[in-house]
């Protein structure tokens, strides 16, 4: 089988692994598994929507390479990224007699890779897993770095593990069928990658929003590879997430809180777009970021069709609700909320105790009032 011409990004975590990016990358999957999976047996974790689009083709590829496949189809959507769904995966694997020499292949968006990776992390104390993201968000963010987990009614990703995938296979062709709203949601993480660590990527997106939105394959490969490189650099510098990795949370303190308060009615990409704009303003207010850079960030986000503020009232949104959501989230330190801020596009600020900078609540109150949410909100 001739491998297509793929980009390879090495993620230097312990253990290290490769992200393969390109059109037709999926054809590499059976080859990679035969070389790296002694048991020739795997569980394919996917969701019902992805299974309809790609399930049969992937299974056919694997079976013609004589790899035994057990499929677990979970319900699609963030609402199903739960401990209960993880149990469902475990029960199927155990009933099927999957042993420690098998692996999990997670085929889907971030929900599926988070679930599949977490199930692999704790199945018989850990088996390998391969991420095959089918969304832009999954390719540039969810699948790289080993963060796996499930949500809790009180907050996102509260239960989980760091468990690096053995490989990530990002086939750009799979994005052709991705709904527009999901594609834009992924673009939010791509912009974030530019803001936190790659000014060239940011400029590329800001200069060519129409070509990006048209999904031009060559541009898309370049953009995905650059965003993956940012993520790979950051997680390799700090696999245990002690400090450097916090910069990936840009936009996420406010963003996660919006998702939480809205019961996930505000999607991840939209929430962190609004979150990045809000946190840029906090950075300006704290004297860390030049207002011109904050404006450039807002303009680039808007040009890619992503929201920069709430489009309608969000009942229940208040500074207190946001602080509470951030508190039960993992972004607090001895009770204080910490945030990460750019000091210019492409470079994040460092405070006395590293990248996490404690939040000024008065400033937050002002910025939340400006989110365009509930008129009567504090």
Interface with a second copy (CB under 8 A), residue from 35, 97, 263, 376: 97
| Backbone phi, psi, residue 88, to 5° | -60, -45
- Say how far residue 179 (Cα) sits from the centre of its chain: 17
| Dist CA 184 CA 190 (whole Å) | 10
182: its two tokens: 């999901």
Active-site option among 41, 54, 156, 245: 245
Interface with a second copy (CB under 8 A), residue from 8, 12, 38, 265: 38
Q: Where are the beta strands (DSSP E) in 126-215?
A: 129-133, 147-152, 155-162, 167-171
Active-site option among 226, 256, 267, 293: 256
3-state SS class at 148: strand
Q: Does 162 bind a second copy (CB under 8 A)?
A: yes
Q: Does 87 bind a second copy (CB under 8 A)?
A: yes
Choose the binding region for a second copy from 129-137, 144-152, 229-237, 275-283 (rule: CB under 8 A).
144-152
Choose the binding region for a second copy from 4-12, 87-95, 286-294, 366-374 (rule: CB under 8 A).
87-95
Active-site option among 41, 54, 86, 147: 147
- Say how far residue 61 (Cα) sits from the centre of its chain: 27
Which residues 6+ apart lie within 8 Å of 356 measured at CB?
A: 243, 246, 331, 333, 338, 339, 340
| Dist CA 288 CA 360 (whole Å) | 13
Interface with a second copy (CB under 8 A), residue from 8, 52, 63, 83: 83
Q: Does 109 bind a second copy (CB under 8 A)?
A: no
Is-catalytic flag, 125?
Answer: yes
Given the complex with a second copy, which of 3 and 240 has the nearer CB atom? 240
Active-site option among 23, 231, 293, 331: 231
Choose the binding region for a second copy from 114-122, 277-285, 290-298, 345-353 (rule: CB under 8 A).
114-122
Which residues 6+ apart lie within 8 Å of 316 measured at CB?
A: 261, 262
363: its two tokens: 């400033």
> Which residues participate in catalysis according to the annotation?
125, 147, 189, 231, 241, 245, 249, 252, 256, 268
Name the site residues for a second copy (rule: CB under 8 A).
38-39, 83, 87, 90-91, 94-95, 97, 99-101, 118, 121-126, 147, 149, 152, 154-155, 157-162, 241, 327-328, 330, 332-335
């Amino acid at each position: 089988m001739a491998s297509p011409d793929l980009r390879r990004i090495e993620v230097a975590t312990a253990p290290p692994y490769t992200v393969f990016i390109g059109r037709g990358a999926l054809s590499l999957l059976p080859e990679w598994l035969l070389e790296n999976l002694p048991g020739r047996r795997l569980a394919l974790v996917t969701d019902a929507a992805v299974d309809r689009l790609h399930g049969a083709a992937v299974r056919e590829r694997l079976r013609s390479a004589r790899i035994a496949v057990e499929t677990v189809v979970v319900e699609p959507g963030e609402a199903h990224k739960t401990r209960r769904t993880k149990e469902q995966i475990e029960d199927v694997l155990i009933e099927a007699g999957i042993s420690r020499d098998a692996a999990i292949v997670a085929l889907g968006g971030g929900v599926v890779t988070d679930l599949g990776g977490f199930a692999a992390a704790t199945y018989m104390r850990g088996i390998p897993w391969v991420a095959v993201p089918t969304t832009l968000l999954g390719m540039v963010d969810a699948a790289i770095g080993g963060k796996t987990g499930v949500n809790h009614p009180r907050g996102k990703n509260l239960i989980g593990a760091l468990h690096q995938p053995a490989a990530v296979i990002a086939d750009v062709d799979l994005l052709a069928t991705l709904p527009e709203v999901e594609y834009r949601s992924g673009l939010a993480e791509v912009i974030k990658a530019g803001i936190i660590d790659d000014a060239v990527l940011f400029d590329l997106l800001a200069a060519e929003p129409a070509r990006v939105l048209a999904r031009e394959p060559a541009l898309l490969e370049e953009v995905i590879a650059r965003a993956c490189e940012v993520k790979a650099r950051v997680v390799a510098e700090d696999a245990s997430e002690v400090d450097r990795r916090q910069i990936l949370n840009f936009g996420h303190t406010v963003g996660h809180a919006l998702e939480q308060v809205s019961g996930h009615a505000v999607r991840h990409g939209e929430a962190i777009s609004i979150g990045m704009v809000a946190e840029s303003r906090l950075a300006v207010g704290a004297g860390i970021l030049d207002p011109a850079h904050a404006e450039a960030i807002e303009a680039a986000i808007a040009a890619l069709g992503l929201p920069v503020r709430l489009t309608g009232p969000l009942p229940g949104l208040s500074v207190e609700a946001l602080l509470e959501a951030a508190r039960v989230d993992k972004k607090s330190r001895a009770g204080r909320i910490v945030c990460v801020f750019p000091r210019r596009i492409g470079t994040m600020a460092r405070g006395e105790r590293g990248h996490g900078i404690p939040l000024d609540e008065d400033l937050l109150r002002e910025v939340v009032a400006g989110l365009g949410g509930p008129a009567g909100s504090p």
